Structure 1
Amino acid sequence: MTYAEFSASLTQHTPPSNLSPLLQALWHAGRNEWADAHEIAQDHEGEALYDWLHALLHRQENDTTNAGYWYRRAGQPVFQGSVRHEWETLVRTQLTI
């Protein structure tokens, strides 16, 4: 799936069936369905990419202290761009795998 296809799928009512759990969470985050994305992140706590997602989600809700904790857990620097740019960056890392 390309980034353009993934982005276009955000208009659907449900995520595409072939998405990994991380991309499902990012799909929900892209639709501002924070609770659904957060639940997936919590289910995979301790996995670096999900911890990065967790940081992004807390940035999305303007909880920078909690986000900082999750960046440290993920071994990632605090993202310097916008929340949307970080979301796109994380999505693109998964679509290239």
Structure 2
Amino acid sequence: MTMVNHYNKTNEDREIYCCLRNKVVKADADHLAQYCNGCKMFSAVHPDGGVECVWEDIRTDRSRVVVADPYSEWMENQRRDVTPGLSAELSGPDAALAG
């Protein structure tokens, strides 16, 4: 997988997509203090209020992407690609949850 620098711009409601929490959040001081500052993916805060985060992203081979719509980014990150022919042995009561 490729390490990708995601520049998450804020939308008109000052929201960004947060990969750590896998949700759209307010890009405010509370979020920065409580989540960004301790996150290994966090890279930088921009003067416009956006943030940069670096994480492995199988969706692209580019080294940097600009995320202007946090809701579209959230939706795109909910997609799970399944490789045909890839199987795993499942056993036990939680086997159906393991995939």
The TM-score, its normalising length taken from structure 1, stands at 0.31
Which structure has the highest strand share of the two? 2
Q: Which has the higher contact order (CA 8 A, sep 6+)?
A: 2
Larger radius of gyration: 2
Q: Which has the higher helix share?
A: 1
How does the TM-score come out when normalised to structure 2? 0.30
